[in-house]
Structure 1
């Protein structure tokens, strides 16, 4: 896999404000402490659980991570 999860999700930036994946991508982009080089589910999931940002819910993360795996694994 040549792209991190962060790099993959950036492709969803700029979408409609009612698109949950676009909202997630925007929030992730502005989160300076987001693990930008991470590729693994567990570390990313743990980070999001601890952060508990309402604009980055775990349900949307799960959907995005599934797409990420389909495309890059």
Structure 2
């Protein structure tokens, strides 16, 4: 079964890391309305652009999405 992006992102959490994707994951874990079941790039991207003030740059999401695709294939 394919993981949702959120499920994948939670595997990247690390509160002691300065890695941008780890920080993204740490903050997304606290986001109560993150689209947790989605596997859709556009849906998640739109949500982050409109709501995720904790994400300093969308390039971080883009890199995390690429890692997600590699892991799912």
TM-score (norm 2): 0.87
Q: Specify the alignment match of 2:16 in structure 1.
A: 16
Structure 1 regions of 5+ residues with no counterpart? none
Q: Specify the alignment match of 2:5 in structure 1.
A: 5
Cα deviation, 1:12-69, whole Å, max 9, x if unaligned, reads: 1125342101110011000000000000100000000101413363111000001111
Matched pairs, number? 73
Please state which structure has a larger fraction of its residues in helix. Answer: 1
Aligned equivalents of 1:67 and 1:27: distance in 2?
A: 18
Q: Which moved more, 1:12-21 or 1:63-72?
A: 12-21
Structure 2 regions of 5+ residues with no counterpart? none
Q: What root-mean-square deviation, in Å, do the aligned CA atoms of Structure 1 and Structure 2 show?
A: 1.6
